Structure formats: structure tokens, C-alpha cells
């Protein structure tokens, strides 16, 4: 991987050093879909999140966005080294009531926006972690099949083994 074009359409699974397992699909130049397989908000999944994506240098990419929950995320991917580094900035309320965010967010945008007003934002809970990338595929851009069902136990193994396909 070298150019920004090379990165678009990538589908990756990675495990943070704190054990949290995440999956991201770089849908196009300003959109991602993702599933969270384990950790504080394991079970959460989201489609069509608008993000900023840039190439920092050849083969190194940064993806940044703010969620309807108020959570801010900035991720640096180094796919050629199978490594990434992410920083997640959780509002206080997501740390205290993670279960509210654990769902298919697209059907609950109002609940996220109500919760971020109802509960406390500060102090934020900051999680900076490196991760090992355990899967990289490229099912092409704007592929609606990649993230089209809820995460389940064993799903990431099914993706890595080729049991789950997206074409």
C-alpha cells in the first residue's frame, strides 16, 4: 500500500494492546463502517460514519471523526507493518454507561444525542493504544455487504478464515 487510493476500500480487523478487538471498513474517501467485537463497547456497530481520511506519508493513513455519542476517535494505520495506533476520547457518560451505545447506532441516533445532553461529558476518558492488524482485505469501495450484520462471537475468525465473504 502506498497511495491514498490504495487504502480506500480496505477492510481490517485489529486487536489493541488492551485486548479490545475492532473491525473497520474504509468505505470511501470520507466514510467508514465498523464493528466492535470486544472491549468496553463490544457489540456496538455503525454504518456510514463520516470521517476525515488523509495519507500522512506513503503507506501511512489517518482516520479521524466525532461520533453522535460525543466520542472522538483518531486512528493511524500502518498496514504494511500490520500495525495501527488509535486514540479514543470517551465522554464521561460513555465510560459510565457503555451499554447505552452498544447497539446498531444508525437506528438510535436520537438516543445518542439525548444521552450526550443528559449525562456528563467531563472529565473525558482517553484511551491511547497500539494494535496489531490481524486481517486486511480489499472488497472495493462502497460495498454494502461488508458491514451488514451485527457482530457475533467468532465472526472475526470467520472473516479471517474466508468463511464470511463480501462479494
| Cα–Cα nearest to 31, from 89, 86, 106, 81 | 106
Residue nearest to ligand FER (CB): 34
Annotated active-site residue 99? The verdict is: no
Q: Running DSSP on this structure, what letter comes out for residue 104?
A: B
Kindly write out the interface string for residues 2-41 of this chain, putting x where it contacts ligand FER by CB under 6 A and - elsewhere. --------------------x-x---------x------x
Annotated active-site residue 104? The verdict is: no
What are the cell numbers at 100?
A: 447505552
Kindly write out the interface string for residues 104-133 of this chain, putting x where it contacts ligand FER by CB under 6 A and - elsewhere. ------------------------------
Q: Which residues are identified as catalytic?
A: 22, 67
- Chain residues binding ligand FER by CB under 6 A are 22, 24, 34, 41, 67, 71, 73, 75, 86, 88, 101
Amino acid at each position: 500500500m502506498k497511495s491514498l487510493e490504495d487504502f480506500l476500500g480496505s477492510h481490517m480487523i485489529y486487536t489493541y494492546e488492551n485486548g479490545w478487538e475492532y473491525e473497520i471498513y474504509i468505505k470511501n474517501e470520507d466514510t467508514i463502517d465498523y464493528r466492535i467485537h470486544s472491549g468496553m463497547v463490544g457489540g456496538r456497530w455503525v454504518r456510514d460514519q463520516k470521517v476525515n481520511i488523509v495519507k500522512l506519508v506513503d503507506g501511512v493513513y489517518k482516520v479521524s471523526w466525532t461520533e453522535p455519542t460525543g466520542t472522538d476517535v483518531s486512528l493511524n494505520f500502518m498496514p504494511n507493518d500490520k500495525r495501527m495506533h488509535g486514540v479514543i476520547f470517551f465522554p464521561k457518560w460513555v465510560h459510565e454507561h457503555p451499554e447505552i451505545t452498544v447497539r446498531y447506532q444508525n437506528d438510535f441516533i436520537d438516543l445518542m444525542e439525548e444521552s450526550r445532553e443528559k449525562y456528563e461529558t467531563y472529565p473525558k476518558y482517553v484511551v491511547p493504544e497500539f494494535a496489531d492488524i490481524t486481517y486486511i482485505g480489499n472488497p472495493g469501495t462502497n460495498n454494502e455487504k461488508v458491514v451488514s450484520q451485527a457482530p457475533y462471537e467468532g465472526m472475526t475468525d470467520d472473516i479471517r478464515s474466508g468463511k464470511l465473504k463480501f462479494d
